[in-house]
Chains A and B, each alone.
Chain A
């Protein structure tokens, strides 16, 4: 009787269609797709210039010594694994804010910031987007630079915001379209949100110069825009953490109460540990408390509270003097290696007899370089030279080493001559 009943159930169920029959196959991730193709390639000279994770000069992932030392220190303390508060590890959020804003920041002294620990940069942007969606009284539009990190758009969209753009990259110079940016920003409706890359713009590597930042800050103030800074590369861009945070600090000094996303994925090599922060600079400490309470309400139904491991490592490094010094050295080292590869690539292209101007390779900063290669050229360089990059001609300089920079110069020259 029992057997009949359950077979009957299965039979009935078999007649019904699946709940998910209408679910389409999601489009493949463009960046991951590059890595997949790279993996399949058997060419011994192949190069993966797709994904944005730092590699050493042997092409290997780099675990910073300060990280290993911090881990050993933490292990010796035999800490428990109790839940963190919703807003994260206190020592971490404090150090995180100090790193971005500077030790002497008036904002920190008056406690008018709230900084919560987030799931790296993505998690920070998402929490920020959700917060704006719920509490920002202005227009629902977020203005991104053209182009911007691919994931910015879906993050803000999923949070219920709308996306618009301002001119940023000038393909004719492979540099900053300063005039175009100012023109567009001057037309943005008041109280809209404008997203700015604090340093090492992703994907172009093109950053405004300080004088240009000043003018941008000025026009943004005139338009009364809410500034959302995305800082994923502090220290990693120029090698100097204060220099890379200059724009963020300048805007605050000028009276912009910004919101800020920080990531420790690249500058501490803590990619998979998911370490980040989200800061709201408020009018005063009382407002910061109210904002904090609402951020917690947003965070709780997503993941309750953040992961400990990475935050503990980051906080240990930032607050232990000799680990902090070691970190500053290592981050300087990573930035330097990238800068050196840029110089060698530009020199290599010249040596190969390229008639093009490759100055932008040196002028651009951070992990990525917008080569200026057109889609057909990208296709050729992948097919004929096994040099893998994204369709927009973006290369991750981290994937370039002294061992392969020569080959890269040859390949780029070959498809552009």
Chain B
């Protein structure tokens, strides 16, 4: 009798199943608007030119080997990555109260932060502290926090489906009514999946409530630079919160803005009250890292560190990032224009109001099913599309298909 005979078959992770179905589809005009990875106008993955350059540098540097990194990661990666988020002249960095943990992608950074919070935040191993994630949010947020031991992961109001924008009143309402010391996962920019970010004025209101009600700030920053094309602009919210004196975490991913998806490059930036707190926090982070993956992978971190710390390469990277951001903005503009010229019912301003890789089209599940089954255009059941999947060659087909879906299917 097998010890595993009772193990049930788990449902596949939706976004990967979507890609699998797309891959198996033989339809010549099929389009994949599912998984969140950048594509060129030829519909191909793009290894950033600066990354290719740096990889050559690494391969030819005989001083480099494959030895273990320190538990917390490559020092020059951690510090330069935190600088990217907080700014070169960040007072917090100058005050020596910013530290970091190199992690396996943005997921790994969220995981480390969650594990630390469960052990040490709001009491000793207080698994009952509520963790709030936006409604909707990246689906893995829920699992990261609940697997770290948090028993109470709840949604905060965020997306207003009717007006297709931010439900600020609802959001602020949840901030006011939640238990004190609740943890809030905030999307630094380019909200996934809605593409809808608070304005600077709205962020100020959010920050005021969070400070007053002693809520914990946990930023998820997966698209810095990728959203607007500007690193500074995309980091505004994070930097604003730091300037107010919050003790906070920021999980950074370099998957999208460096195109290093499969090298798993992430950074958990820790902003502490003072150097002593920071030291103790990092010492405990080491213990958590040690029993999860011991020390992080070196290749991706090296690529990022060399790029960020070499002026010409840094400039080239920013340029590559802008190339990606600009193509997405172009596709947004063109999709909206085409839907408007087709006279597709509804308003389509949200296509260009939203920012980053994703757009919440507003298509309902039946319309999404139509898109997938009849038109072989693959998007998430929520109506989320990845703008990067659009190209000048397929945008007409996609626009026409959306038009059909909206007019034929209610």
- State whether B140 touches A303 (Cβ < 8 A): no
Supposing A67-B66, A296-B10 touch, asked if A19 and B247 sit within 8 A by C-beta, the answer is: yes
A37 at the interface (CB under 8 A from B): no
Supposing A272-B69, A302-B108 touch, asked if A86 and B3 sit within 8 A by C-beta, the answer is: no
A53 at the interface (CB under 8 A from B): yes
B261 at the interface (CB under 8 A from A): yes
- State whether B277 touches A20 (Cβ < 8 A): yes
Tally A-B pairs: CB < 8 A: 234
Range, interface on chain B:
35 or more
Q: How far is the CA of A137 from the CA of B7 in the complex (A)?
A: 10
A407 at the interface (CB under 8 A from B): no
Q: How far is the CA of A9 from the CA of B207 in the complex (A)?
A: 11
**Chain B residues whose CB sits within 8 angstroms of the CB of A200 once the complex forms:** none
CB of B205, distance to nearest CB on chain A (Å): 13
A353 at the interface (CB under 8 A from B): no
Q: How far is the CA of A283 from the CA of B3 in the complex (A)?
A: 9
Q: Could you give, for residues 119-147 of chain A, a 1 whenever the CB lies within 8 Å of some chain B CB and a 0 otherwise?
A: 11111001000000001111000000000
| Smallest Cβ-Cβ distance to B287: which chain A residue | A26
**Chain B residues whose CB sits within 8 angstroms of the CB of A13 once the complex forms:** 211, 244-245
Interface positions, chain A 29-81, Cβ under 8 Å from B, are 29, 32, 53, 61, 63, 67, 71-72, 75, 78, 80-81
B316 at the interface (CB under 8 A from A): no
CB of B44, distance to nearest CB on chain A (Å): 8
Supposing A63-B66, A151-B294, A287-B4 touch, asked if A72 and B59 sit within 8 A by C-beta, the answer is: yes
| Segment at the B interface, from A306-314, A322-330, A357-365, A397-405 | A306-314
**Chain B residues whose CB sits within 8 angstroms of the CB of A32 once the complex forms:** 71
**Chain A residues whose CB sits within 8 angstroms of the CB of B261 once the complex forms:** 81-83
Supposing A63-B66, A273-B66 touch, asked if A293 and B297 sit within 8 A by C-beta, the answer is: no
- State whether B3 touches A23 (Cβ < 8 A): no
- State whether A304 touches B216 (Cβ < 8 A): no
Most chain B CB neighbours (cut-off 10 Å) among A23, A135, A155, A291: A23
Q: How far is the CA of A9 from the CA of B376 in the complex (A)?
A: 54
- State whether A61 touches B283 (Cβ < 8 A): no
| Smallest Cβ-Cβ distance to A82: which chain B residue | B45
Interface positions, chain B 311-328, Cβ under 8 Å from A, are none
Interface size for A (C-beta < 8 A) is: 80
Q: How far is the CA of A85 from the CA of B71 in the complex (A)?
A: 25
- State whether A120 touches B284 (Cβ < 8 A): no
B375 at the interface (CB under 8 A from A): no
Q: How far is the CA of A9 from the CA of B35 in the complex (A)?
A: 41
A271 at the interface (CB under 8 A from B): yes
Q: Could you give, for residues 140-151 of chain B, a 1 whenever the CB lies within 8 Å of some chain A CB and a 0 otherwise?
A: 100110110000
- State whether A10 touches B245 (Cβ < 8 A): yes
Which of B51, B65, B280 touches A25 (beta carbons < 8 Å)?
Answer: B280
Which of B4, B51, B104 touches A290 (beta carbons < 8 Å)?
Answer: B4
B264 at the interface (CB under 8 A from A): yes
| Smallest Cβ-Cβ distance to B261: which chain A residue | A83
**Chain A residues whose CB sits within 8 angstroms of the CB of B168 once the complex forms:** none
Supposing A67-B66, A81-B263, A191-B3 touch, asked if A18 and B9 sit within 8 A by C-beta, the answer is: no
Q: How far is the CA of A71 from the CA of B291 in the complex (A)?
A: 29
Q: How far is the CA of A82 from the CA of B37 in the complex (A)?
A: 8
- State whether B297 touches A119 (Cβ < 8 A): yes
Which of B47, B105, B247, B291 touches A80 (beta carbons < 8 Å)?
Answer: B47
**Chain A residues whose CB sits within 8 angstroms of the CB of B193 once the complex forms:** none
A274 at the interface (CB under 8 A from B): yes
Q: How far is the CA of A24 from the CA of B8 in the complex (A)?
A: 41
- State whether A86 touches B67 (Cβ < 8 A): no
A-B contact pairs, 21 of them (CB 8 A): A19-B122, A19-B216, A22-B124, A26-B286, A82-B45, A84-B262, A119-B104, A138-B3, A151-B294, A158-B291, A257-B2, A272-B297, A282-B2, A290-B10, A294-B8, A297-B10, A298-B147, A300-B107, A301-B107, A301-B147, A307-B264
User: What are the 6 tightest A-B residue pairs by CB atom distance, in nearest-first order?
Assistant: A303-B104, A26-B283, A301-B143, A122-B294, A272-B298, A308-B262
What residues make up the interface of A, taking CB atoms closer than 8 Å to B?
6, 9-10, 12-13, 16, 18-26, 29, 32, 53, 61, 63, 67, 71-72, 75, 78, 80-86, 119-123, 126, 135-138, 151, 154-155, 157-158, 191, 226, 257, 265, 269-274, 280, 282-283, 287, 289-291, 293-294, 296-298, 300-310
